[in-house]
Each structure stands twice: as C-alpha cells, then as structure tokens.
Amino acid sequence: MSQNSPAVRDNTTLRRFEMDVDGGIAFAAYRREGDTLFILHVETPPALRGRGIAAKVMCGALESIRHDGLKVVPVCSYAEAFLTRHREYDDLRG
C-alpha cells in the first residue's frame, strides 16, 4: 500500500478488517480460532469496485496477521485467489 492509501484497521467488535474509501467501507470478515484467522468474506461496495480496493484490504489484513504472529485460512474464493496470486504471504497459511 502506498502512503496515500487509506489505512486498514482491525474492527474486532465486528470481526473484520476495514478500510474507508470515498464514503464506503470495504472489508474482510473473519472468524478467529486460537492463533488462526479464517477469512470468510471480502467485500467492496459496488460503487468502489474495479479499483483494487479489495486487494488493499487483503494486504492490510495479512500484514496485521503477520505482525500479530497469527496464521490465516482463506474460506472465501476471493481470499483464496488472492493468496494463490501473492506467494509472499505463503508463510501465513495455517
């Protein structure tokens, strides 16, 4: 993410990583089991799609997961495809 990109935050109350963009919220919802986060669903508001925002949410989420020493299991098809394309996160797979 560039320095001008909005920050991704972990909203632990709603159990999702979020990023505010142009009045909308893109997110990656998760379920935590011990030291593993299961990415259940990644969503970008329709008006914001096609701009790479979901990828930025995933990058922010995965960097947070790495920082916290956790593992990740992609459940939704987008998260699985993202991790398959971005091998630099292979060490996070649980």
- pLDDT (0 to 100) of residue 5: 62
9-92 maps to which CATH number?
A: 3.40.630.30
Radius of gyration for the alpha carbons in the chain, expressed in angstroms and rounded: 12
As averages over each run of 10 residues, the pLDDT of the chain (94 residues) reads: 71 98 96 98 96 97 97 98 98 96
3-state secondary structure 21-90: ECCEEEEEEEEEECCEEEEEEEECCHHHCCCCHHHHHHHHHHHHHHHCCCEEEECCHHHHHHHHHCHHHH
Which pLDDT score, from 0 to 100, does residue 13 have? 98
pLDDT of residue 6: 77
pTM of the model: 0.92
Map out the domains of the chain as residue ranges.
9-92
